Amino acid sequence: MRIAQRLGLAVGAGLVIAALWAGASVTATAQDAQPDLTKVPVGEALPPKDVSFSFQGMFGTYNKAALQRGFQVYKEVCSACHSMNLVAFHDLGNPGGPDFTAAQVKAIAASYQVPAGPNSKGQTTDANGQPLMRSAIPADHFPPPFPNEEAARTANNGALPPDMSLLAKALDGGPARIYSIVTGFHLKPPPGFKVVEGKYFNPWFPGWNISMPPPLTDGSVTYTDGTKATLDQEAHDVATFLMWCAEPKLDQRKRVGFEVMIFLVVLSGLLYLSYRRIWKDMH
């Protein structure tokens, strides 16, 4: 009985420690601050805005509704310029992600066209020299919006839109940086700062000159779940979705980590009790 009680206390202590750890995560809401850019080194990107996400902290998990809305923003807005080469359509149905049904995943995939490959005659192009295409299936990856880098640069005034598969992990500040950039086009440049022709001012982007025009506004999409599509909501949702793209196993990793912590706490308790039992008569 005493052993069971002590083990219970040990596990409880572990849960308390874990809860305190989780409580230390950032939980502040997004703030649309108006910084004094005259006091910031010219061209130095501002720190990401203070915005909270459901996946932050040890017990944080992805919000399925936010992921589905974020995918809608990507599909209807971002995918016109940005590729997502490392994500397959069937990933959208995985647990811990957007968790679309099999029928929904199939329908989403079928809305895209991908190269068909050689036909029965060994041809890869049609009579006009265009690649043979077919409707995508869940096993396919998201097709890029442009056939090659040259076409992408030509369509974007010489700039190359980055692939979004790992963008949330590659950027300093991660999803908060994405949110900050997307919502950061409203400020006016400080006196003396020159905005390069064909670019846009955004102090959350290194150099403050960015080739991407403001991608989102209030009502850029009409959410299928009825959520009001404000700029902040759209930016938050797409940042959440891009974080999932970059780290789709986040929920699973945290769950395994927590289970390992509990195991170590229990093991430590057993070792301590063994020590006490073996050495209790040696004093």
The residue among 114, 94, 96 whose CA lies nearest residue 104 is: 94
The amino acid that residue 111 corresponds to is S
The average pLDDT across 86-106 equals: 96
More confident residue, 259 or 275: 275
Q: What proportion of the chain, given as a percentage, has pLDDT over 70?
A: 83
pLDDT tens digits, one per residue of 228-272: 999 999 999 999 999 999 999 876 766 666 667 777 787 787 777
pLDDT at 3: 40
pLDDT at 19: 35
pTM: predicted TM-score of the whole model, two decimal places: 0.79
Collect all residues with Cβ–Cβ distance below 8 Å to 189 and sequence separation of at least 6.
Answer: 37, 195, 201, 208
- Domain 31-87+142-248 is found in CATH 3.40.50.620: no
Distance CA 46, CA 48 (A): 6
What values do phi and psi take at 134, rounded to 5?
-145, 165
Alpha carbon separation from 222 to 70, 76, 77, 138, 242 (Å, rounded): 12, 10, 12, 25, 19
Collect all residues with Cβ–Cβ distance below 8 Å to 158 and sequence separation of at least 6.
Answer: 211
The average pLDDT across 77-92 equals: 97
Distance CA 236, CA 174 (A): 12
pLDDT at 42: 93
Helices (H), 38-173: 64-76, 102-110, 149-155, 167-170
